[in-house]
Every structure is written in C-alpha cells, then in structure tokens.
A and B are shown apart, each in its own frame.
Chain A
C-alpha cells in the first residue's frame, strides 16, 4: 500500500456540507434529507435527471436492449439515471470547490462501475466459527451480521457507511416534520420470506406482507427490553438508542416516532447494522432458544434466504425471489460460507486454488505475500477495525483523579510506536473521536502536532515527565497496568503487557510500571462498576459514523459510558447542543472543540490511541464497491455488500474457478 497517498487521502476525508447535500439528493430522501442539512431543493435535480435520462434512452439502440437480460436492462437504466444524476448535480454546483469536483468525479466513476455489474453466481467466503445467537437485537457480537445482514432488512441502510449517506430500506422515505418526530413511510410490496427453512418453521408467518405492526413490535421490544413472555432481558444491545423513542403512532403505511428530545443523530441509527428487523411470530416464538443457531429460526425480508446455518460446518443463502429490490438488486444468486480455517495453510490453499473468493489473516504479511505472488489476479483492500484501542486510567478515584497524572499518561502513550510494534504499522492514531468516524474526527494532519499525538514524541515525553514528577508520580510505587487476556492471547500481541509497561517506564524514566493480564470477565464488570485498575484494551464497537452519541455517552454527566465520572458543564452544554444541531459544519465545530478540550485534560483517562486496519485480498472477478483501489469500508458494510457485490466470471482470473455447491431452497 502506498502509505503516503493513503494518509493523504485520509486527511481530506472529512465530509463537506455539500457532500451531505449531494448524498441526500442522491439517496432521494426528499424533505427528510434536506431537513437534516437545513436547506436545498431537489426538484431541479429530478427534472434534470428526467431530461438527460430521456436523451440517453433515445441514443440506446433497440437491438442492444433486446439483447440484454431484463436485469441487465434494469441495471443499464439505473446506471443511466446515476450518470444523469451526477451530470445534473455537476451543472447545479458550478461554484463548488476543487475537493467537491473530485468527489463528483468519483461519483461518476462509481456510475461507470455500475454499468459493468453482472448478475448471477455464488460467492464463497470463510465464516465465523462461533455465533452467539441468531437474534441481532440481543447481541453485541458482530460476526452474526455477516449472515443476517444479507437475510434481514433494516429501516434504512447506508449507501456509504463511512460518511453516513442513507438510503431507504424497509422505509422507502422518511421525514422529520419537527425536531422530535420521525415519520417512516414503509415500502409497499415487502413480504417475509416465503420459502426456506425459516419459512417452514411452525412459528413463522411465511410470505406474509410486512406491516407497520412489525416495525412497532421490533422497536417496542428493544426500548422496553421485554420478551414475548413478559420477562425482561438485559441483553438488548441497542436498548439505549431505542429508549430515545417516547411513543409510536401508526398511520396507514407509516410509522411516526416521537422522540424524547431532539436528536439529529437518531435517523442514522436506523441504519446501524445491528438494527435488523425480526419477524415477531418467529423470533417471538423462539425466544427461549435464542442461542441455538440454525437456519430454521431465521426469516427476513432481505435479499437472501438462509438455506443452511450450521456453526462450525457451513452456511448457505440463496437469492430471495420475492425481494423488493429485484430485478436490480441483489446481483448474486447466493452465498456460501465455509467453516473457519484454523490454520493459515488451509486458508491459503483454499484461496490460491479459488475454493474461496477472498482471504484475510491476522498476520498482514501472509496476505501481502499472497498478493505479491498473485499480483495479476488479485487486488488488495485495507479495512478498519471498529474496536478502537485505548488506554484507560481510573480518573474517578485517587490517585488518578489528579488530572496531571492522567494527562501525563496520555502524553506518554506512544500511539505510533504501538501501531508499529503490534500491527506492523497498519493503523492510524485516533483522537477522542476515532478516525473511522472520519466526518467527525480530528484530521490526521492536525493530530501530528497535537500534544499526545505529536510526531515529535520527545516533546510529549518531556511534558509528560514534568507533569508526572509534579503530581508525585514517582511516589505511587508499583503500578500494575492491565491488558485483557483476550488481547494477549493472540500470538502477535502476546508481548503487549511488557510493551505497555516498558513504554511508561521509559517515558517517566522509572521502573514502577508492571504489565499484567486479566480476563475480560474481571475487567469489564470492574470498569462498569467504576472501580477498575488502569488497563489497555479495545473500547466498545463503533456502530454508526456519527460520533456525537459516542461522545455524549463517554463525557457528559451521568451518561451510560462515562466510567470516569466526568462532570463538566461546558462539555455537557456543548455536546447536547451538538446533538440537536442540524447544520453539520456547526455541529462538527462543537464536537471538535470538545475533543480539543478533552485532550488538554488527558482525555479524562479515556485515552483513545488508534484503530488498526487489516488487509483483505480478493480475486479480480470478485467485485466489491469500495472507496478507492486500496481502501475498503471503515464500517460494517454487509448490507451494502449484499446489494452491490457481484461476480465477473468473464474476468481472466475466474478461468480456473470451480462453481461452489450451495444448499438450494
């Protein structure tokens, strides 16, 4: 990977207000999208699109159209519309900046890519081995989404998961008539899977039309944390988010959500990959077996129907013949997931002999070596891991409540060194907002001169040492710095406890720091109880690109994830205002100011370090929408892949590929 260009690209990834405008227009969200950004009008766009589309259609010969398959025709029409859309928008925004023009070009290129998309074929990938449950609403473990996000739908989904561009899914459009109301206009003609193991389950209502009651049931279930039996369950992972809904009204085919308070981030949560919509009859009827994973307990409205789900053996899904996106999407006939390869040798054999279509490995060198060997047949993509890595200091109790100590630790943390030592340099430093939430993060270039993140680490160390000594750090005696055993259990990271201890010992010219490990089961409860020892670990998964909710959760008085008891009126007021602010630039500025304020105080003990990335390799015939040649999506993008993923079996790299054997409907 070209590190220079990669970093440069990341530095300019902050989304512009125009970017949001265009995204909203492109998504066809109408008034709702415009309400989000405060102004605009899409009527002109629509007219221009129609005119250009008509011209394009006239120039297409009838013979060509006849030769095309219906799906290809549909794709061509959509491509024409996308091109026209892009062109119309280009005319409309003549005064836009050079950056905006570059983004438009990228959009046009995307439209051109769409023209080459093909239909049919099966993708074969490695699956996770362990699935906690088949109910995405009752877990925080993301592997389940690899399967379910292709089978079930959400209210909205991301067109671009990194910037937060939204498109309709079960809700075709949505509106924000006032600051506390969200109206979801459900798509017509959506039905639950009519075939497959899930549809055949006695509890399932196979083929039934989706109703507003289904949406209400799913929201109520999560915000009330209640099972069908009336029993309360503590494992609804998004209950805090849905708790933002005060009441729900149903009118015809629309659902109106009345929010507890104004929340500009709320709409994006509909597209959170975990917010999949379950069928009340089936999921409600099997709630007592929710950890017993198999295909017969899963039904959805999504592009695929699950035909097999045997953890540790195999998974298979076929195209849903009644999917509302057809004939345009999805492109693939289905998916086959094979069991996890315990050994890289088996995975390598499977990939090199084209028994699987893609590969990744915890050791990036393996992937880079294979890519070098198969340079003409494969391409490489880097993807971020949403579990942000951080140093946690218990600033809520003595002695760490002296913010000089917390600040000293934050300054002494050598983030760039950790990325080199633990991740072969594949990662990027993150401020209080992770770089993965790129529209809200402090750009990498700015961080290079920010204390704690400076490239010139000596300056950080000098300042850190002065603070440490001034606050009586040397008198603290031995300090055990904990690393989670789950982290240290990975061979490549086993030396982490020692590395962390050594990092601080060197920074403070001492031998006080001692690296130890503890199980998660010990760390997490103590963390939640706000009685934890200093530790190094991941922080909970980032689930949506909008960082405001995460910042509020971590730093406002009494918030759920404020394990450091931060209570600062300035932070409270600014973040609450930012959450309600509909203008992106203004909201960004507020969040940015809070980030800088927090960093000046050693991040109050929640010292975000970095997010690492990992390489992913695929054959050229295995086509996935991505930002550039080398960048994959930062966020979970399975829903997007379910729609956009396709195979080009005419590509030379597909010559020796053997068709997989899926489980049919």
Chain B
C-alpha cells in the first residue's frame, strides 16, 4: 500500500508540474502582455519606449527561458510573486478568493449529491416506469444543457419577475450575511449542481439496477427485511462504491463550471481570478491560480484513488 501511495504521489507531482509549465507558456503565447493590456484601446498612443520600459519593470523583457527558471525556482519555494494588477501578493489574492470558491463549490456539491442520489435511486426502483423516464429525461437535459445556459435562463426568470436580489456587488460571505449570500449563490449552486448531477445519477441508477439483481439482495428480501432497509442498507451502500471513483472527475467538472458561474454572477473566487488574470495578462496570478486548481484536482483524485485502493484490494495489488 505504501508503494502504491508513493507511486501515486510522484505521479501527482508530475501532473502539477506539467500543468504549471503549460500555464506558464500558455499565457505568454497569447497576444499582448500586461504592458499593453493595461493600456487597453489606448495602446496605439503609447510610445514603444514607454511600453518597453513597462515590460522591463515587470520582468517581461527577459528571455523566456530565464523567466521560466525564475518562476520554477520561486514556485518551489512557494513564492508566487505579486499581482501585476493589484500589486498584492498572489497568496493574498488567493486567500481572498478561495473562501468564495469553497462556499460555492460546497453548495454545488450539496445540491449535486442531494439531487443525484435520490433521483438515481428512484429511477432504479421505478425502472421503466413513468417516474424513471421522467427522471432520466431530466438527467439527459441536465447533461445536454450547458451550465451557462441554465444559469442565464434562471437569471432572466429572476429578473423578469424580480424574485430576489442577486447581490453581485455586495458579494457577502455566508457567515457575514447568510440571507443575501444564499440568494446570490442560489442560481449558480443549482445550475452547477444539476450539471454535476446527471453523471452521478445515471451511474448510480445503473449500479443500483445491477446490485438489486444480486443474490444477497434477494436473500435480504427473503429474510423479510423491510424494502427501505434492503434498498438503503444493502443495495445503495454497494452501488455507491463506483460513484466514489467518479467523484474526482465530478469535482473537476464542478471546478470547470465554477469558472463560468463565478464570472456570470461576479463571485470573486478562484474561477473569476482565472479569467480576470487571463484578460489582464496578469501572469503571476494566472499561473498560480491554475496551479492551485491543478493541485486541488490532483489531490482530490489522489485521495479517491487511495480510498479506492483501501476499499478494493485488487487496485493496490495491480
């Protein structure tokens, strides 16, 4: 088991290194840099000398190899540098953004799993009945509808009937102003939750159908156990095991949808930072935020892999 974990950790570090390297070069391949982005439409009015001076101030005039070496060494020492845009340290920017992303991410997962599990369960129990068809139809819709589309439609509905305040300016945390925070998060958490629901629900349904046909379920029923006990204690627990394996993928999907949702609802989280720093060519923030997302995703998958290894000995033996 120890060797398995070490192997997985080494793999995870390599993945993070690759993602970091990719993000470093990706933002430099894009047209423009912070020196020109900060001038916006007025870039044509600036003298070349002015722009060159700005690039030199930011260290963007150095050879790309040198920039990469400096970035790599600083990152290893956990020195992520300062934001070009705000002049704050990148760690400060991440510290300010991370709580928002965690709040939204947790809410999305709560919605996702609280919807996916009962729906998958009901769909399996009522296989080929109207409820099954309806729920499967909804799951396919959730899979097919892009998260931004669902969120945009929901926003328009709220605006049309003025249902509640979406506080895109105040940006309250849940612990500061729960009422305002929850109405602000409401649409993104449901849009993100539903998008993440479909895969889990469909997987759970197929697993449940398989488990419900197993001998031990038939035995449990023959013993005269209540149907609810059979379903929840015997069938669901076993059907949930494969769901755990896709949890890592689901979380990666949620993070992806968070980038979109945070921007759509002006949530100043990590996803918002990705786009803001990308548009502003704020290299230190972009590279670091992508790295943080990679670390989080890889860690989640690592934990899932290790847990699965613990649960299923065949995995760690192989």
A-to-B contact residues, CB < 8 Å = 124, 128-132, 139-143, 234-235, 237, 291-294, 310-313, 338-343, 345-346, 348-350, 352-353, 355-356, 385, 387, 484-486, 488-489, 517, 519-521, 524-525, 528, 537-541, 656, 660-661
Contacts and interface: CB of A to CB of B under 8 A. Distances in A.
B155 A132 contact: no
Contacts of B57: 291
Contact of A345 (B33, B42, B54, B155): B155
Contacts of A311: 85-86
Contact of B279 (A313, A342, A519): A342
B36 A520 contact: yes
Given A353-B166, A540-B45, A485 B31 contact: yes
Contacts of B169: 124, 338, 350, 355-356, 660
A234 B47 contact: yes
B44 A346 contact: no
B127 interface: no
Given A140-B42, A350-B169, A387-B42, A234 B279 contact: no
B103 interface: no
A387 B41 contact: yes
B160 to A, nearest CB: 9
Q: Which of B31, B148, B170, B280 has the most CB of A within 10 A?
A: B31
Contact of A312 (B37, B44, B85, B166): B85
B59 interface: no
A520 B36 CA distance: 8
B51 interface: yes
B49 interface: yes
A387 B45 CA distance: 9
Contacts of A660: 169
B38 interface: yes
14 contacts: A130-B280, A312-B280, A313-B268, A342-B266, A343-B263, A343-B264, A345-B265, A387-B42, A484-B44, A486-B31, A489-B31, A521-B36, A524-B47, A656-B162
Contacts of A486: 31-32, 36, 41, 43
B44 A524 contact: yes
B318 interface: no
B18 interface: no
Given A486-B36, A486-B43, A348 B265 contact: no
B168 A349 contact: yes
A313 B40 CA distance: 18
Contacts of B46: 140-141, 235, 524
B168 A234 contact: no
B155 A349 contact: yes
A520 B40 contact: no
A235 B38 contact: no
Nearest to A292: B87
Nearest to A489: B31
Contacts of B275: 342
Contacts of A350: 168-169, 266
Interface string B201-222: 0000000000000000000000
A139 B50 CA distance: 9
B53 interface: yes
A131 B31 contact: no
B138 interface: no
Contacts of B170: 355, 661
B159 interface: yes
A488 B31 CA distance: 10
A355 B167 contact: yes
Given A345-B151, A350-B168, A235 B44 contact: no
A234 B36 contact: no
Given A132-B38, A345-B265, A486-B43, 9 more contacts: A141-B40, A235-B53, A311-B85, A312-B86, A350-B168, A355-B167, A356-B169, A387-B42, A521-B32
B165 to A, nearest CB: 6
Contacts of A130: 34, 37-38, 40, 85, 280
